[in-house]
Chain A
Amino acid sequence: MNRFKESPSQTAGPYVHIGCTPNFSGIEGVYPEDLGKKMITDDVSGQRIAIRGTVIDGAGTALRDALIEIWQADAQGKFAGQGGEAGFTGWGRSPGDMATGEFVFDTVKPGRVPWHNGQLQAPHVTFWIVARGINLGLHTRMYFADEEAANAEDPILNRIEHKSRIPTLMAQPEDGGYRFDIRLQGEGETIFFDI
């Protein structure tokens, strides 16, 4: 039996943008463009939305050195590489705004994806957050506050013991899309998953 231990994680550090979004960090001419900037590359079905938010630390300060990645199904509930629409990558990466730390993803509202027993999950977007001071990338999910019926039957939401924390996973509708702030610690701490 050959088993190996996963490489231990180390923080992405303060300069993660050099490696992952070099053009954003001022290192131009090495890569033509930063990966994950465009999720919609051609005509796609579904509702176009912008997902905006900030990552906030335990002292209430917005992180300006984080890297946020998302992965989601297209409007039909299919993932890229698994029958998803050709014009949609499903994967986004944002360094956040230089001054405010706010991330923006121009995307489509995802369709419903089956759980492993075939039951449909509520529409959601998978988030992965790394930054200086985060020792192991944090996984969470963004659900849509206006999908009440689907959320009520979502298998992941239903297994959360502390119901009072579920609102931390809900993106709120706003002009042009949804807002999803991520609180690393303290009041309203976002639910993170050990998946």
Chain B
Amino acid sequence: MSNRNGFAARDRAWHPPALAPLYKTSVTRSPRFAPIGAATSLSEDTGPVFGHDILGPRDNDMITNFATPGEMAIGPRIIVQGRVIDEFGRPVPHTLVEVWQANAGGRYRHKKEGYLAPLDPNFGGCGRCITDETGRYEFRTVKPGPYPWPNGPDDWRPAHIHFSVFGQSFAQRLITQMYFEGDPLIWQCPIVGTIPSREAIETLVARLDRPGSLPMDALCYQFDIVLRGKRQTMFENRMEGM
């Protein structure tokens, strides 16, 4: 049995470096030693699997999942949908996607958050879903607002939604953020700026999908997520002692 079909190596020049001084918190939270390269083994090629039994009917509807029955969150109503695929273009089915975000005024529901914009009593800010057979996911929410944050004296985060994705293996585990097409703050943000290339940043910008929008109801944004992929080969290149 060939058991060397581990994951393709991560392209670390594409991801943000650990140390990105303009994002100040990274200065004390970035390792100074290089990470040690190691082929993935069973411990990283496997990972937790979640079934639909964990999901409630409104888990992917942030407009109502925290709201008083009969009420809804305030803000521009949007649907976010897309596919989770791997580097080789294969769909990643049945994988858990978790999202969290600020409300339409740019305020998070969190004890340590001090921004003066008010909480929305009908908005919690978390949602989740499991991709279907073809890797598709979808949720409904309100468009989050931009907000100022303590980094430089006047830094603002562009509107964004945080994504946590599992894939089928611990090696694929990924957290990232989705931005919105046309937002000028994307290109001024020190956190976005940790990503080395404009080309890579563009892959995190969701596209407005007018035909996919619901008339008189909600705009639609499309956002695909790519996870690492497992190599597939019949050949086994087994080195002695490895």
Residues of A within 8 A of B (CB): 2-20, 22, 25-27, 29-32, 35-36, 57-59, 61, 63, 65, 69, 71-73, 79-82, 89-91, 113-117, 121, 124, 126, 128, 130-139, 141, 155-156, 159-160, 165, 184-186, 189-195
From residue B113, how far is it (CB to closest CB) to chain A in Å?
Answer: 7
The answer to whether A117 touches B108 (Cβ under 8 A) is no
What residue in chain A is nearest B37 (Cβ atoms)?
Answer: A194
The answer to whether B43 touches A135 (Cβ under 8 A) is no
Residue in B31, B34, B42, B86 whose CB lies within 8 Å of A114: B42
From residue B110, how far is it (CB to closest CB) to chain A in Å?
Answer: 5
Residue in B28, B36, B238 whose CB lies within 8 Å of A194: B36
Known contacts A5-B226, A19-B164, A193-B38: does B26 contact A134 (CB below 8 Å)? yes
Q: Kindly state the interface size class of chain B when it binds its partner.
A: 35 or more
Closest 7 CB pairs of A and B: A19-B100, A133-B25, A133-B29, A91-B48, A135-B16, A194-B35, A58-B28
The answer to whether A8 touches B30 (Cβ under 8 A) is no
Dominant SS among interface residues on chain B: loop
Residue in A11, A25, A57, A138 whose CB lies within 8 Å of B23: A11
Residue in B16, B34, B128, B201 whose CB lies within 8 Å of A9: B16
What residue in chain A is nearest B66 (Cβ atoms)?
Answer: A30
The answer to whether A25 touches B111 (Cβ under 8 A) is yes
Binary flags per residue of B108-148, CB closer than 8 Å to A gives 1, else 0 = 11111100000000001110100000000000000000000
What residue in chain B is nearest A130 (Cβ atoms)?
Answer: B175
Known contacts A31-B59, A135-B23: does B89 contact A3 (CB below 8 Å)? yes
The answer to whether A19 touches B28 (Cβ under 8 A) is no
Known contacts A16-B162, A57-B29, A59-B28: does B38 contact A8 (CB below 8 Å)? no
- The answer to the question of B47 belonging to the interface, with a C-beta cut-off of 8 Å to chain A, is yes
The answer to whether B35 touches A8 (Cβ under 8 A) is no
The answer to whether A135 touches B194 (Cβ under 8 A) is yes
Chain A interface: which of B3-11, B72-80, B209-217? B3-11
From residue A35, how far is it (CB to closest CB) to chain B in Å?
Answer: 7
How many contacting A-B pairs (Cβ < 8 A)? 267
Residue in A18, A73, A130, A132 whose CB lies within 8 Å of B43: A73
From residue B167, how far is it (CB to closest CB) to chain A in Å?
Answer: 10
Compute how far the CA of A91 lies from the CA of B177 in the bound complex, rounded to whole angstroms. Answer: 24
From residue B225, how far is it (CB to closest CB) to chain A in Å?
Answer: 5
From residue A34, how far is it (CB to closest CB) to chain B in Å?
Answer: 10
The answer to whether B36 touches A192 (Cβ under 8 A) is yes
21 pairs, A vs B, C-beta closer than 8 Å: A4-B85, A4-B89, A6-B14, A7-B174, A7-B225, A7-B227, A15-B100, A18-B100, A19-B125, A58-B29, A69-B173, A82-B42, A117-B241, A121-B43, A133-B23, A133-B30, A135-B26, A139-B44, A189-B33, A194-B36, A195-B38
Known contacts A27-B66, A137-B174: does B112 contact A131 (CB below 8 Å)? no
Compute how far the CA of A116 lies from the CA of B1 in the bound complex, rounded to whole angstroms. Answer: 10
Known contacts A15-B108, A184-B31: does B16 contact A71 (CB below 8 Å)? no
Compute how far the CA of A15 lies from the CA of B10 in the bound complex, rounded to whole angstroms. Answer: 26
